[in-house]
Copies of this chain bind each other. A is one copy, B any other.
Amino acid sequence: MSEFAITRRQGLLQMAAAGGITLLKPRLLRAAAPFGGDLGGVRAAIEKQQPEAIKRLQDWIGLPSIAAENRNMNEGCQMMIDLLKEAGFQSATKMPTDGQPGVFATLDAGAKKTIGMYFMYDVKQFDPAEWSSPPLEGRIVDRPGMGKVLIGRGATNQKGPEATFLAALHALKAAGRKPPVNIMLIAEGEEEIGSPHFGQIVRTPQVLAALKKCDVVFMPANGQSPQGDVTINLGAKGLIEVELTCNDEKWGRGAKNDIHSSNKARLDSAVWHLIKALNSLVSEDGNDPAIDGWFDRVKPLTDRQKQIIADTVAATKEEDVKKAMGVQHWVRDLDYRASLERLNSQPTVNIEGIIGGYTGPGGKTVLPSKASAKLDFRLVPDMTAQDAGDKLKAHLAKHGFGDIEVNITGGYDPTQTDEKSSLITATKAVLNDEKVPFNLNPRQAGSWPGYIFTGAPVSLPAGHFGLGHGNGAHAPNEYFLIESSNPAVRGMAGATLGYVEFLYALADMG
C-alpha cells in the first residue's frame, strides 16, 4: 500500500511560483566537493553499472512475493537478504513474525551518523491477462513522450526505487567510496496486506536499539511526476482494511444455503442485510462516514496546512489534474481547494469490492445465503487503527448488524512528520541543488506504515525520498522510467545519483 506515486498530485508546480518556500543553501555541492567534478567517479560508476542494475531489478521482479496469496514469501525474503548483502550490508537477518518474515540489516560505514531505512519485498497481486507485456519479465519498452520504461509488477511499488537505491550503494563501492552514513534497514513482506506484523519486527530489542541511533527513517520512492516535479508529503493518512461478511448460517436467518428466489417473500436475505449494514456506515450521498463517534478524534487542518494547500492550488491547473485522473466533478461539486482540503483532512469509508450471489451471464433466480464486501477506511490524526476497528464493530452491533463478521485484515495509524525535521530539510536541499521543482503536501491520502516510526516508542521523522518516475502501482502495466526523454525527469541512472546526493545531504544535516 505504499502509494507514493499513485496519490501524487499530478499538477506541475513551478517552484518559483509557489512562494513561501525558502531556497536553502546548496549544501550538496559542499558534500560532493571531495569527489571532484563527476562526484568522485560515482556518476561514471552508475553509468557503467547500469546494465547490471537493470538486470538485478528484472531478476527481483521475476520473483513476486505476494502475502495475500502466500506466494514466494520465504524465497522473496531470502532474495531481499541476498540483495542487501551484495550491496554492502554486513549483516542481513531474517526476522520471523506471526505472519510473513521480514529482514533486519545493517551497513556500518564508519560514519558519524546512522540513518534508518524501510523496504518492502512484497508486491501487489496481478492478472497477467490485463498486461501488455508479461508482468514478471521486466521488459523495457518505449513509452511515447517519456522514454524507455521497464514494465513489471513492483516496477514502481517498490522494487524499482529500492533496487535503484541499492544501485547507489554499488556505485559508491565501485568508485572506492564508503557511504557517508551508516544504514540500518528493516524490510517486510506484508506491506500490501496492511503490514499486520511489521510492528513485531520493529519492536524487537535489537531493532529498537538500532533505531535509537537514527534520526530519520525513509523509504526509496519514484518521487517525480511525469513533468519532473516532486511532492514532499509531510504525513500520510492511516488505514484499516476490513472484510464484512453476512452469512445466513451465522445470522440464523434466511436459509443456510442459497435457495430459490421466490422464497424472498418469507425469508430474510443476506445480501439485503449486508447492504443495509453498509448503508448505515455513510451519509446519504455515500461521501461522509456516518459511523458512531467516527469524528471524535479528527483534528482539523492547521492554518499552515491550509496555506500549503492554497499554495498548491495557486500553482496547479485544476483541469490538468482532472484530465489526468479521468474526473469531471469532485464530490458535491467542490472547488479544487475544497477538494484538496477534503483529500488531506477527511476520513473515508470506501468499498474496494462487493460480491454476493449469482454474478455470471444472464440471471439466476437465487436468494443468496452469503455476501461480503471489502472496505478501506482512511484515518486522519488523531484517529488510530485500533480505535477505528472498535468503533466500526460497536456501530454495527448497535444498529442491528452484530451478526456481520468483521475481519480487519490490516491497519496503519496516520503519520505526520515535521516540516522542519532533518528528513524534510535534506530533501529540500537535494531538490533545490538539483533544481527540481517541488511542492509540499500536508498529508498524502494514501497510507504507509510510517506511523511505526513516527509514533512511540520510535518517534522519528519518516517519509519517502527519491527522484525518478514510475506509475501504475496496483494496476496493470506498472512501470519504472529507465531512460528519460525529458531532461526534467530522471531515469534510473539519474535517480541512482539522487540517492547518493540524498545520503550526503543527510550526512551533512548534522
Interface residues of A (CB under 8 A from B): 1, 3, 6-7, 67-69, 124-125, 192-194, 237, 239, 241, 243, 252-269, 271-273, 275-276, 278-279, 282, 284-287, 325-331, 334, 339-340, 342-343, 346, 348-368, 371, 374, 376, 378, 409-410, 444-447, 473-475
In the complex, chain B residues whose CB is within 8 Å of the CB of A286: 268-269, 272-273, 275-276
In the complex, besides A67-B362, A259-B326, A275-B354, 20 extra interface pairs with C-beta distance below 8 angstroms are: A125-B364, A237-B262, A239-B365, A261-B350, A266-B334, A266-B340, A266-B343, A269-B351, A275-B275, A276-B279, A276-B284, A276-B286, A351-B356, A352-B364, A352-B365, A352-B368, A353-B357, A357-B374, A358-B374, A362-B409
Of listed A330, A354, A376, residue having the most chain B CB within 10 A = A354
Q: A363-B376, A365-B1 are in contact. Are A262 and B474 (CB under 8 A)?
A: no
Q: Which residues of B contact A409 (CB under 8 A)?
A: 362-363
- Residues in B whose Cβ lies below 8 Å from that of A261: 348, 350, 352, 376, 378
Closest to A256 in B: B326
Distance, CA A367 to CA B67, complexed state (A): 21
Chain B residues with Cβ below 8 Å from A365 are: 1, 3, 239, 241, 350, 352, 376, 446-447, 474
A364 to B343, CA, bound (A): 19
Q: In whole angstroms, how far apart are the Cα atoms of A285 and B276 in the complex? A: 8
Nearest Cβ on chain B to A14's Cβ, whole angstroms? 23
Interface centre among A259, A351, A447, by most B CB within 10 Å? A351
Contact A352 B361 (CB under 8 A): no
Say how far A313's CB is from chain B's closest CB, in angstroms: 13
Query: Are B371 and A329 in contact, with the CB atoms below 8 A?
Result: no
CB pair A265 B410 closer than 8 Å: no
With A365-B3, A446-B262 as given contacts, are A352 and B342 in contact (CB-CB < 8 Å)? no
CB-contact partner of A271 in B267, B269, B351, under 8 A = B351
Chain B residues whose C-beta falls within 8 Å of the C-beta of A268 in the assembled complex: 285-287, 329, 331
Cα(A488)–Cα(B443), bound, Å? 74
Task: Determine the distance from Cα of A286 to Cα of B276 in the docked complex, in whole angstroms.
Answer: 7
- Are A262's CB and B327's CB within 8 A? no
With contacts A68-B362, A363-B374 taken as known, whether A350 is within 8 angstroms of B241 at the C-beta atoms is: no
Considering residues A329, A358, A365, which has the most beta carbons from chain B within 10 angstroms of its beta carbon?
A365
**Shortest CB distance A326–B (Å):** 4
Quick check: A326 and B255 within 8 Å, CB to CB? yes
Known: A331-B268, A376-B365, A410-B363. A353 touches B358 (CB 8 A): yes
Complex partner residue of A282 from B241, B272, B358, CB under 8 angstroms:
B272
Task: Say whether A355 contacts B350, CB under 8 Å.
Answer: no
CA distance A352 to B340 in the complex (A): 39
**Known contacts A259-B326, A276-B279, A325-B255: A359-B350 contact under CB 8 Å:** no
